[in-house]
């Protein structure tokens, strides 16, 4: 009796759990099967699977509908009858990934929209990407074909597994940075190049599963309230030191009188009305303060403030808006709690921890999970000193200890212009800290897209969204491995620049202060001071060595060339910065034209390479450089 039982068990388990061969020795063994009427997400997921398999082994797997699929190994994509998965009942964006002895099932919770729209739920697509990463070793280094790393093989096997995979964060977002506009468009992309850049980047972002499980919107919430309500309800708005309510000067920014209970009630009332009218943002009440410090000087607001921590202003430059500000985190925590208490069950209040209410509260206030706080420091740029980095993390932990849920809403990715400016390790450490302490979503502002000079940092930022526990070293190794035999040289190269960035910390801070330069807006005023010509010499040699190592590997050689182009371009930009910086340029219109000549020619020649988002650069350079009328023309006509 016993042997028979064992035999049955073995038989059962072998039929349930077995690898499936999809391609053997360069010949297709399997077909891809979709439902009779696939959604756009499912069709796209099937095409993505076929595309990557073909890139791996040169074999194009056929895509057929369920009714026409013959027997043999099959890869079922989406809610096929055969899969028996009720995808509607899966958690948003989650996916079943099941491999039995003759079939692979990838079926997830999807929406009906455009698969490239980050608002479309795409669990099935996430399942395909998960499988491509795990069983095919695919890595998406940067947007476009060259950045798509698919190890070559002749045989592809789907390893046996049965899992349901759910995204770790309900929203995964790095703002795409595709809307930058400049008064000097000739410095940016031509229309066609911009379209290509945008398309490839959108594809890339979805490959890294950027998107969200349900709609949520927030942002500076009360910007038009003074105009609408200032006359009738001045008491809802900040009180200035003299007792006057509202903005300091006409049309100026203002904050709210957040202790005002009637204001809190009004926020819930307006949200309820909008919700009744079919507002899709139905679970989230936007209570993010306007883009200004919390300034209300009324007695009630002040009474809510906790004691200011001793290090409250330590990490802000003396010229920062924060200088001399009052610490008001506790009043904002009370504000969000006040709104949340009046809101119906299930509603979540969203606020930003920002400016003088960024530091964690000190009154001991307890919030709850129906309050969602965006961690939005107005300082803390990378690279940080160890003490500053520790302080930044403490603020996260402090807010987390109130019981609120937190999401990452930093602006630090806007830093660095197109220079080889890298802070992968500290960024990863901050991400890890946040994950360990309850991070539920991300919303980084913004992706600037300088893939050839800042690649490893950007890659890591994306990859952490699906591999949140991976170390910076693991992810850097993954990135460099795609350069084949040049991996050690490429690693050395980027380690060099990361060390350079770290060592430049003090210089960066003082230069930015002296030249009155913003980290996110006009970096090109100072690029030459941080990146003088001599700093490029050793790294150029490193890339030459990398190129030599892969002379017999066309793909790896092209990737090294991509890095070289990025470096060449960065060097050019730093040189132009030295001559045109608004800090002290005296160049005449004729000289400006001459100085920009080489840079513009380079950008026209390489605008399809994907090395950089030139439109972001045009936006930065507009406020950084002395320019003339010439570059106000469209790039198609100039030079």
**Residue 51 or 302 with smaller CB distance to Zn ion:** 302
Instruction: State the nearest-atom distance from the C-beta of 298 to Zn ion, in Å.
Output: 3
In Å, how far from its chain's centre is CA 222? 26
**Residue 53 or 298 with smaller CB distance to Zn ion:** 298
**Residue 101 or 235 with smaller CB distance to Zn ion:** 235
**From 215-223, 255-263, 466-474, 507-515, span contacting Zn ion (CB under 5 A):** 255-263
Instruction: State the nearest-atom distance from the C-beta of 308 to Zn ion, in Å.
Output: 18
Instruction: State the nearest-atom distance from the C-beta of 338 to Zn ion, in Å.
Output: 12
296 binds Zn ion (CB under 5 A): yes
In the block, which residue shows the tokens 């139905």? 282
**Residue 302 or 485 with smaller CB distance to Zn ion:** 302
**From 195-203, 293-301, 407-415, 473-481, span contacting Zn ion (CB under 5 A):** 293-301
476 binds Zn ion (CB under 5 A): no
What is the C-alpha end-to-end distance of the chain, expressed in Å? Answer: 87
Query: Is residue 22 within a helix (H) or strand (E), and if so which, with residue range?
Result: strand 20-24
**Residue 306 or 635 with smaller CB distance to Zn ion:** 306
Instruction: State the nearest-atom distance from the C-beta of 305 to Zn ion, in Å.
Output: 11
Instruction: State the nearest-atom distance from the C-beta of 262 to Zn ion, in Å.
Output: 12
What are the percentages of helix, strand and coil residues in the chain, rounded to 5?
45, 10, 45
**From 160-168, 257-265, 386-394, 623-631, span contacting Zn ion (CB under 5 A):** 257-265
**Residue 132 or 301 with smaller CB distance to Zn ion:** 301
Burial of 9 (0-12, 13-18, 19+ CB in 10 A): exposed
Instruction: State the nearest-atom distance from the C-beta of 315 to Zn ion, in Å.
Output: 27
CA-atom Rg of the chain in angstroms: 27
**From 74-82, 256-264, 456-464, 586-594, span contacting Zn ion (CB under 5 A):** 256-264
**From 78-86, 174-182, 250-258, 601-609, span contacting Zn ion (CB under 5 A):** 250-258
Which of 103, 107, 93, 193 is CA-nearest to residue 441? 93
**Residue 239 or 480 with smaller CB distance to Zn ion:** 239
**Residue 301 or 349 with smaller CB distance to Zn ion:** 301
Show contacts with Zn ion in window 55-114 (CB under 5 A): none
Instruction: State the nearest-atom distance from the C-beta of 307 to Zn ion, in Å.
Output: 19
User: For residue 558, how many other CB atoms are within 10 A of its CB?
Assistant: 12
In Å, how far from its chain's centre is CA 381? 16
Show contacts with Zn ion in window 396-415 (CB under 5 A): none
Instruction: State the nearest-atom distance from the C-beta of 343 to Zn ion, in Å.
Output: 21
* Positions of E strands within 52-144: 63-65, 74-77, 95-99, 103-108, 139-140
Query: In the set 61, 136, 267, 301, which binds Zn ion (CB under 5 A)?
Result: 301
**Residue 257 or 567 with smaller CB distance to Zn ion:** 257
User: For residue 287, how many other CB atoms are within 10 A of its CB?
Assistant: 27
**Residue 297 or 582 with smaller CB distance to Zn ion:** 297
Strands 148-149 and 103-108: unpaired
Query: Is residue 21 within a helix (H) or strand (E), and if so which, with residue range?
Result: strand 20-24
**From 75-83, 141-149, 292-300, 569-577, span contacting Zn ion (CB under 5 A):** 292-300
**From 51-59, 137-145, 294-302, 602-610, span contacting Zn ion (CB under 5 A):** 294-302
Mind giving me the DSSP string for 481-504? HTTGGGHHHHHHHHHHHHHHHHHT
**From 252-260, 452-460, 614-622, 631-639, span contacting Zn ion (CB under 5 A):** 252-260
**Residue 213 or 259 with smaller CB distance to Zn ion:** 259
**Residue 259 or 489 with smaller CB distance to Zn ion:** 259
Instruction: State the nearest-atom distance from the C-beta of 284 to Zn ion, in Å.
Output: 24
257 binds Zn ion (CB under 5 A): yes
CA–CA dist 382, 501 (Å, integer): 9
Instruction: State the nearest-atom distance from the C-beta of 261 to Zn ion, in Å.
Output: 11
Alpha helical stretches, state H, 139-289 = 191-207, 225-229, 261-276
Instruction: State the nearest-atom distance from the C-beta of 294 to Zn ion, in Å.
Output: 9
Q: What is the three-class DSSP state of 405?
A: strand
**From 205-213, 258-266, 419-427, 471-479, span contacting Zn ion (CB under 5 A):** 258-266
Strands 405-408 and 439-442: parallel
Q: Binding-site residue total for Zn ion (CB under 5 A)? A: 5
CB 15 within 8 A of CB 100: yes
263 binds Zn ion (CB under 5 A): no
Q: Which two tokens stand for residue 523?
A: 């970096």
Q: What are phi and psi of 246, to 5 degrees?
A: 100, -170
Q: In what order do the strands lie in the sheet with 20-24?
A: 27-28, 20-24, 156-158
CA–CA dist 491, 476 (Å, integer): 8
Angle between helices 537-549 and 554-580 (to 10 degrees): 170
Burial of 390 (0-12, 13-18, 19+ CB in 10 A): exposed
CA–CA dist 86, 238 (Å, integer): 52
* Positions of E strands within 69-176: 74-77, 95-99, 103-108, 139-140, 148-149, 156-158, 161-165, 171-172
**From 227-235, 291-299, 356-364, 473-481, span contacting Zn ion (CB under 5 A):** 291-299
**Residue 238 or 501 with smaller CB distance to Zn ion:** 238
353 binds Zn ion (CB under 5 A): no
Query: Is residue 408 within a helix (H) or strand (E), and if so which, with residue range?
Result: strand 405-408
**Residue 301 or 580 with smaller CB distance to Zn ion:** 301
Instruction: State the nearest-atom distance from the C-beta of 410 to Zn ion, in Å.
Output: 28
**DSSP-derived secondary structure letter, 140:** E
**From 163-171, 175-183, 300-308, 515-523, span contacting Zn ion (CB under 5 A):** 300-308
Instruction: State the nearest-atom distance from the C-beta of 264 to Zn ion, in Å.
Output: 12
298 binds Zn ion (CB under 5 A): yes
In the block, which residue shows the tokens 């919030």? 367
Instruction: State the nearest-atom distance from the C-beta of 252 to Zn ion, in Å.
Output: 17
Instruction: State the nearest-atom distance from the C-beta of 260 to Zn ion, in Å.
Output: 6
CA–CA dist 96, 445 (Å, integer): 32
**Residue 34 or 255 with smaller CB distance to Zn ion:** 255
Positions that interact with Zn ion (CB under 5 A): 257, 259, 296, 298, 301
């Amino acid at each position: 009796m016993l042997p028979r039982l064992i035999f049955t068990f073995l038989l059962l388990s072998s039929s349930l759990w077995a690898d499936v061969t999809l391609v053997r020795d360069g010949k297709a063994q399997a077909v891809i099967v979709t439902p009779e009427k696939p959604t756009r997400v499912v069709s796209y997921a099937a095409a993505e699977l076929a595309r990557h398999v073909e890139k791996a082994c040169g074999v194009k797997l056929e895509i057929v509908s369920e009714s026409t699929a013959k027997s043999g190994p099959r890869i079922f994509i989406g809610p096929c009858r055969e899969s028996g998965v009720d995808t509607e009942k899966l958690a948003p964006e989650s996916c079943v990934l099941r491999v039995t002895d003759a079939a692979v099932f990838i079926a997830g919770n999807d929406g009906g929209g455009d698969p490239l729209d980050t608002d479309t739920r795409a669990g099935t697509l996430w399942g395909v990407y998960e499988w491509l990463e795990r069983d095919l070793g695919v890595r998406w280094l940067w947007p476009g074909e060259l950045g798509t790393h698919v190890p070559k093989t002749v045989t592809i096997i789907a390893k046996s597994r049965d899992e349901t995979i759910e995204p770790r964060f309900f929203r995964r977002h790095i703002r795409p940075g595709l809307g930058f506009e400049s008064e000097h468009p000739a410095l940016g992309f031509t229309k066609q190049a911009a379209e290509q850049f945008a398309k490839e980047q959108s594809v890339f972002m979805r490959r890294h599963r950027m998107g969200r499980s349900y709609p949520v919107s927030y942002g500076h919430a009360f910007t038009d309230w003074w105009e609408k309500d200032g006359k009738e309800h001045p008491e809802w708005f900040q009180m200035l030191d003299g007792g006057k309510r509202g903005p300091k000067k006409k049309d100026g920014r203002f904050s709210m009188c957040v202790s005002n209970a009637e204001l809190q009630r009004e926020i819930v009332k307006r949200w309820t009305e909008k919700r009744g009218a079919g507002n899709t943002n139905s679970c989230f009440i936007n209570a993010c303060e306007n883009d200004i410090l919390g300034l209300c000087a009324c007695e009630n607001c002040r009474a809510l403030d906790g004691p200011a921590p001793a290090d409250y202003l330590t990490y802000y430059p003396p010229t920062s808006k924060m200088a001399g500000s009052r610490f008001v985190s506790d009043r904002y925590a009370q504000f969000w709690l006040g709104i949340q208490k009046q809101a119906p069950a299930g509603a979540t209040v969203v606020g930003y921890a920002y400016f003088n209410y960024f530091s964690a509260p000190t009154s001991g206030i307890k919030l709850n999970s129906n309050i969602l706080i965006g961690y939005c420091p107005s300082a803390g740029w990378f690279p940080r000193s160890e003490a500053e980095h520790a302080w930044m993390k403490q603020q996260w932990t402090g807010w987390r200890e109130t019981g609120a849920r937190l999401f990452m809403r930093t602006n630090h990715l806007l830093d660095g212009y197109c220079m080889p400016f890298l802070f992968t390790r500290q960024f990863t450490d901050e991400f890890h800290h946040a994950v360990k302490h309850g991070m539920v979503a991300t919303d980084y502002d913004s992706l600037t897209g300088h893939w050839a000079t800042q690649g490893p940092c950007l890659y890591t930022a994306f990859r952490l969204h699906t591999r949140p526990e991976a170390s910076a070293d693991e992810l850097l190794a993954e990135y460099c491995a795609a350069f084949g035999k040049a991996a050690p040289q490429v690693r050395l190269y980027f380690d060099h620049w990361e060390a350079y960035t770290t060592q430049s910390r003090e210089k960066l801070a003082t230069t930015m202060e002296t030249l009155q330069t913003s980290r996110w807006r006009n970096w090109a005023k100072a690029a030459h001071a941080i990146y003088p010509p001599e700093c490029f010499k050793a790294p150029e040699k490193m890339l030459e060595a990398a190129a030599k190592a892969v002379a017999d590997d066309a793909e790896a050689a092209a990737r090294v060339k991509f890095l070289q182009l990025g470096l060449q371009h960065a060097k050019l930009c730093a040189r132009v910065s030295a001559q045109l910086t608004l800090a002290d340029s005296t160049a005449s219109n004729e000289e400006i034209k001459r100085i920009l000549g080489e840079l513009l020619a380079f950008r026209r020649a390489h605008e399809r390479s994907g090395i950089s988002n030139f439109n972001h650069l045009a936006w930065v350079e507009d406020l950084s450089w002395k320019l003339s009328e010439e570059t106000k023309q469209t790039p198609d006509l100039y030079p």
